[in-house]
Chain A
Amino acid sequence: MPVPAKAFQRWLQGVAPSASMADISRISGIKRTTLAQQLVRGKVAESTLVSVSRAVGINPVTALAVFDTFADLRREPPLPRPEELVSQIATTDLLHAVIARSIPDDPGAPPAPQPPLIPAPHTTSVRNWVDAIDDGELRHRVSAATGIAPQNYSAQLTANRLTPELAIATAVAAGVAPTSGLVATGLITEEEAGWAPDARQRALARLSDGELASLAGDRLQAIGRTLRRQEQDHERTEKIWENLG
């Protein structure tokens, strides 16, 4: 849920007392009309708050935690779990790792340098994150805690989306750091969530070959299922347009 405009303006007074709305829109890169509209409607989007806090040099997590909706962010978060870190590695990077580990070692040559991982979020990061922290009852608990219908929750995951509020509720229900959910949804960066720069790389390195192979396999299978469904929809649509278009 977006934060109330009044509370946002109070916060802004505190962190940038002399800045006008024009200044804020210039330094944060948010269009003036967008900002004005959100203020008039009385609701400021979380992404706006994040951009503004970055622009004034405040960690977005600290900024979000000021607002009561995000009170869960006030506590010192636990470290991200290895499964969470791995869930935020793009499928292409996992496949690169599979190939890199499959190439026989050349004793003469120095080990090839590992290319940097694609920064989170990736195209299925939300669903992968929830799967990584799900003990089987997680969706149930989230829907009980927030009142969201399970099918609406699933629909958001399928679309690789989750509102910041739901992402935090999911993390709380799973007992992991609330910031992880905001990383998976792309609202904040890994660094802003306090993840070490090489945390994901190290979590990947600690996976056994078997774990890596099954994980990459699971990802491919899920992508395959989604693609097959999209292809069927596409074929059905093409057939309709071929005959009635």
Chain B
Amino acid sequence: MIEILQWSTLSVCSALAVARIPSAVRGRNRSLFAIFVLATLAILLSIDEPYMAVDSWLGSENYANLILRFIIYVTVFLAGRGVAKAFDDSRALRRLTGPVGVGVLALIMLATVVLFLLADTAGSSTGLAALPGRSPENGLLIGFYAAAGRLYPAYVAVCLLPATLTAVTQSLPGAVRVGAALLSLGFFALILGMLFPVIPDSLGFLQPVINYTAVLALMAGLACIWIGRVLLRRAKPSLRAFTEK
């Protein structure tokens, strides 16, 4: 079940990245191309086989997981900046790219690196699943490391959710409103991610479901808005509409 989710998410992300190549070549919103490529890489590193391959090449110390965290941070930052600009939310933009936003990101990145170095990370393990069980101390360190990794996406989501929810209700082209709704769903899932520590083990299957819902909803939301531009470009409103017969 989870494998299906992983591979389908991977195919969606990579297809979007490929479809975005012509625009990237023309120089149109290259960050969108970067987002799709980085999301593809992030999904790849979440799947067992590619993770094992990459990590063994990096020395089997799970540095691939650390790289994965940074890929997620950069992807979320780029997507968040784009969404804040697009939906003209200057407050969200300041909270993401202003001193506060940069400070939050730097702090979380530092915490991620420090916790990773403190923990015993020897021996490749996808999603670090095998590491917390080694010792109570390691369990704690890896727990905080994972929490830090979810904190930044949740922070960005909290900043942007009001803007995307508002856009759903505004009179905008249908594809843009659907896109805004999907982005809102994705942000909501990212915020839900903060609740992972309190989800009981019996509901453990929810964790990947929430994660992949977030990725799929965000990518589909961005794609929807982009497709809307291609299909629905409208003429500028003019007086002619009131006089033409």
* Mutual binders A and B: yes
Chain B residues with CB under 8 Å of chain A are 28-29, 32, 82-83, 85-88, 167, 170-173, 176, 179, 222, 225-226, 228-230, 233-234, 236-239, 241-245
Q: In chain A between 94 and 126, which residues have their CB closer than 8 angstroms to a CB of chain B?
A: 118, 122-124
**Inter-subunit contact B237/A244 (CB<8 Å):** no
Do the beta carbons of B239 and A223 come within 8 Å of each other?
Answer: yes
Complex Cα spacing A118 to B244, Å: 10
Query: Scoring A residues 222 to 245 as 1 if CB is less than 8 Å from chain B, else 0, what string do you get?
Result: 010001001101101101111111
B29 touches A240 (CB 8 A): no
Q: How far is the CB of A121 from chain B (nearest CB, A)?
A: 10
Known: A233-B172, A237-B234, A241-B229. A90 touches B82 (CB 8 A): no
Best-buried of A118, A122, A243 by chain B (most CB within 10 Å): A243
- A contact set with B: CB distance below 8 Å: 90-92, 118, 122-124, 223, 227, 230-231, 233-234, 236-237, 239-245
Q: Which residues of B lie under 8 Å from residue A122 when comparing CB positions?
A: 245
- A-B pairs with lowest CB-CB distance, top 4: A245-B229, A230-B237, A243-B86, A241-B229
Interface residue from A234, A239, A244 paired with B222 (Cβ < 8 Å):
A244
Q: What residues on B are CB-neighbors of A234 within 8 Å?
A: 234, 236-237
24 contacts between A and B (CB under 8 A): A91-B242, A123-B243, A123-B244, A227-B238, A230-B237, A233-B170, A233-B171, A236-B172, A237-B172, A237-B234, A239-B85, A239-B86, A239-B87, A240-B87, A240-B176, A241-B225, A241-B228, A241-B233, A242-B86, A243-B86, A244-B29, A244-B32, A244-B86, A244-B225
| Known interface pairs A233-B170, A241-B228; 12 further A-B residue pairs with C-beta atoms within 8 A, sorted by A's residue number | A91-B242, A123-B241, A123-B242, A234-B234, A234-B236, A240-B86, A240-B225, A241-B225, A241-B233, A243-B83, A244-B29, A244-B82
Minimal Cβ-Cβ distance residue in A for B226: A245
A-chain residues with CB within 8 Å of residue B243 when the two chains form the complex: 90-92, 123
Q: What residues on A are CB-neighbors of B176 within 8 Å?
A: 237, 240-241
Q: How far is the CB of A91 from chain B (nearest CB, A)?
A: 6
Distance from B19 Cβ to chain A, minimum over Cβ atoms (Å) = 13
Chain A residues whose CB sits within 8 angstroms of the CB of B167 once the complex forms: 240
Given the contacts A233-B171, A234-B234, A244 and B245 also touching, CB distance less than 8 Å: no
Residues in A with CB closer than 8 Å to B171 are 233
Return chain B residues, CB-CB under 8 Å to A244: 29, 32, 82-83, 86, 179, 222, 225-226
Q: Give the nearest-CB partner of B225 in chain A.
A: A244
Q: How many Å lie between the Cα of A123 and that of B238 in the bound state?
A: 13
Task: Look across to chain A and name the residue whose beta carbon is closest to the beta carbon of B83.
Answer: A244
- Chain B residue, CB-CB nearest to A118: B245
Contact partners of A233 in chain B: CB under 8 A: 170-172
CB-CB under 8 A from B179, the residues of chain A are 244
Q: Would A236 and B234 count as touching, CB distance under 8 A?
A: no
- Contact, CB under 8 Å: B239 / A227: yes
Q: How far is the CA of A242 from the CA of B87 in the complex (A)?
A: 10
How far is it, in angstroms, between the C-alpha of A243 and the C-alpha of B226 when the chains are bound?
A: 10
B225: chain A residues at CB < 8 Å are 240-241, 244-245
Q: How far is the CB of A92 from chain B (nearest CB, A)?
A: 5
Bound complex: CA of A48 vs CA of B230, how far in Å? 36
Residues of chain B lying within 8 A (CB to CB) of residue A90: 243, 245
Of chain B, the residue at the smallest CB distance from A222 is: B242
Q: Separation in Å of the B85 CB from the closest CB of chain A?
A: 4
Closest beta carbon of chain A to B33's beta carbon, Å: 12
Asked if residues A237 and B173 are in contact (CB atoms below 8 Å), the reply is yes
Q: Closest approach, in angstroms, between the C-beta of A10 and any C-beta of chain B? A: 38
**For A118, A230, A237, which residue has the most chain B Cβ atoms within 10 angstroms?**
A237
